[in-house]
A = this chain, B = another copy of it.
Amino acid sequence: MEHGRVQGGFAAHVSRPSLLSPFVDRLARHSRLSPEAEHALLNLPANIRQVERGACLIADGQRASESRVVLSGFLYRQRLTGSGAREILSVHVPGEIVDLHNSFLNVADHNVEALTRATVAIVPRDALDRAATCYADVARSLLVETLVDGSILMEWLLNASRRSARQRLAHLLCELALRLEAAGLGERARYRIPMSQEELADCLGLTHVHINRLLRLFEGKGLIARDGRDLTIAAWEPLAEEGDFDPLYLHLGQAEAPGL
């Protein structure tokens, strides 16, 4: 698989630089965009903000009047059970839009928080909605993004429900490798895990104690090597095997409809 952001998808039309271009490039990877739609997206009003690690951008139950595009760093979605257990529902890399749920569905049903220090573009819901209402390609490309997001959610659900702790962790390490690589933030064989062992545990429905034991197990088997959070995947195939990992669900490799 090639590096870089636009891999075989529909090339974005050249246009004056915009802070939102990583986002538009990402949309263009899966969807064709008419020049007008692309222009509308690039010129969406966007407020740039730096947020610190741990910052809560929107909380469960609030009404969201804006969506966020990740420009650098990582965001995540989370929900808490009544007894306070946390589940991280998804992790978002630069270029992704977060919070279509919360803004199009009127009331937030989960939190969005910063996994690391991050810069985000804040796009007012109304402007995004107007663009989606005026340009079918805008709505359609957001639909496709949301479908990819849903595919990843399904895989995470399968993981949590039916795979062992070992499989889950190996699977997540593989997924992060490919997604970070696709976002231009490392190579699949070597990257920095963007979170603590506690947060890994909350992605997987496990405890940080168990995550730790599993990481050491993988080290012992020679599958990975670690230096702090810097991870080297020493043996990709065996790790993918261990994690029952098949990257199809990430929909990274090809454009939406090559034959169309």
Contacts and interface: CB of A to CB of B under 8 A. Distances in A.
Interface of A: 30, 61, 77, 79, 81-83, 85-87, 89, 100-101, 104-107, 109-110, 132-140, 142-144, 146-151, 153-158, 160-163, 167, 204-205, 244, 248-249, 251, 254, 256-258
Nearest to A145: B143
B132 A134 contact: no
Contacts of A109: 151, 154-155, 248-249, 251
Contacts of A256: 104-106
Given A83-B244, A87-B162, A161-B160, A144 B105 contact: yes
A146 B100 CA distance: 10
Nearest to A248: B109
Contact of A150 (B150, B158, B161): B150
| Protomer copies | 2
A150 B205 CA distance: 19
Contacts of A257: 106
B161 A87 contact: yes
Contacts of A205: 160-162
13 contacts: A79-B154, A81-B163, A104-B143, A104-B144, A105-B256, A109-B154, A109-B155, A109-B248, A110-B151, A110-B154, A132-B140, A139-B143, A142-B143
Given A107-B248, A162-B205, 13 more contacts: A79-B155, A82-B244, A83-B244, A87-B162, A104-B144, A105-B256, A109-B154, A110-B151, A132-B136, A133-B136, A136-B136, A150-B153, A157-B160
Nearest to A144: B104
A146 B148 contact: no
Contacts of A149: 150
